[in-house]
Structure 1
Amino acid sequence: MATSNGFGPRALRYLESARNLVGCAGGAVGLGLHFAGLGGVWWPGVVAGLYGVGALLTPAPKPRPPLPPRPEPRPEPQPLPPEVSAPPAPKPEPVPAPEPAPAPDPELVALAAYLDTVPLPPSAGVDGLLAALRAAGPGPVAERIVRHRLPVAVAGYLRARTWQPWAGPDDPDPAVQLGREVDRLAGELA
């Protein structure tokens, strides 16, 4: 049977095939048996036999599925002659695209995620301040509150709460102090 491939490409395909690789593994097992002293004088036959068994028992590669047929190119529509052409269609007026919502401030998102993990008293109104900051959008006042003022107020609350067991009876309640600071920040934002 004549093929367009020469001997070289076919030999290379066989050398890279799964059958040859499994046969080589079987031959290597045969060599291992020889070096272990189990093949005796028949070791070349054992090596060749294990190669042949491995190569023959390996399933043949599955044929590639045929390529799907290429779609036929469609003929381009021919323009109508001027005397038969249809009237031009009215151009639709462009509809203005709605303004995209402003992207949330990543620092505000990170601060809100952190504050969700902190045990803050609901009476302090931190959730209301976060909602007001989201509604206000970016700006110098909101940026100052998000980056510095609110984190400092929360850190002060957490420190005061940590030391509260050793505080005296005259020391103010940390939750009340945090609520006052949050009210002051909300007033600056408005």
Structure 2
Amino acid sequence: MATSNPVLRFLESRKNLTGCACGIVGLALAFTGAAGSLWPLVVAGLYAAGALIAPPERPPAPAFPDAAERLDALRADFARLREYLGEVELPAAAAGRLAELDELVEALLAPGWVSDPEQLHVLARAVRQDVLEAVDTFVRTRWWDRVVPGSEPPERHLERQLTALHEEAAALAAALQDAEAIRQQTHTRYLEERGRS
């Protein structure tokens, strides 16, 4: 375990430990008489050589969350998004499209389906950014539409955005379904070939 004290950090370092091991070899040579009267130089030289050949210290690699941890965090964010959406008043068509999207995202976030980082990124972007921005922008634009009427209704944009997000999530679900079908077919072939041999 790394310490903050520089002296202790040096004492625990690979260079010092390797140098000490080589220095002990030098002491063994001195006690056997092989180093002669220059034994202090032999011990110091072997220590220095050991310290030089030792591999450099490497900082510990950062521990990033794995796919399961990221999925758990995404589920928590999805629950918070649902709370927010429950408080927003939406037109019937947009609310229906949002309900379909919500159902599809919930199914994709179920354990055991999405583990690929790219697929997880698509879901995270939809949950943490796209849906929130679409609904929040609708709420703000709707207020301005009441003050300055005559522009294109914000409901239309919201429905189009939710439709695009639903299509993206549906494509992800279709890719997962295809992957599972291929996996099933591969397993069937494997079992059939194993039965023949």
Q: Same fold (TM over 0.5)?
A: no
TM-score, length-scaled by structure 2:
0.42
TM-score, length-scaled by structure 1:
0.43
Report which of the two structures shows the higher radius of gyration computed on alpha carbons: 1
